[in-house]
Amino acid sequence: MKTDVLVKEAMKANPVIVKPDMTVLEAARLMRKQKIGNVIVVEKKQPIGILTESDILKKIVAENKNPDDVQVKDVMSTPIIVVDPYKTVEEAMKIMDRSNIRRLPVIENGKLIGIITQKDISRISPVLLEICREWSDITGGKDETYMSDQVFSGKCEDCGTLSTNLKNIDGRLLCEDCIDALKYE
Is residue 147 scored above 50 in pLDDT? no
Q: Under CATH, which architecture does the 7-117 domain have? A: Roll (3.10)
The answer to whether 103 and 115 are in contact (CB under 8 A) is yes
pTM of the model: 0.65
- Residue 52: phi and psi, rounded to 5, are -115, 165
Strand partners, 47: 42
* Arithmetic mean of pLDDT over the chain: 82
Q: What local confidence, expressed as pLDDT, does residue 146 receive?
A: 42
Q: In what order do the strands lie in the sheet with 162-169?
A: 151-155, 162-169, 172-174
Q: How many CB atoms lie within 10 A of CB 126?
A: 13
pLDDT-above-70 percentage for the chain: 79
Domain boundaries, the chain: 7-117, 120-183
Compare 115 and 181 and report the one with higher pLDDT.
115
Secondary structure letter of residue 88 according to DSSP:
B
| Weakest-pLDDT range from 58-62, 67-71, 127-131 | 127-131
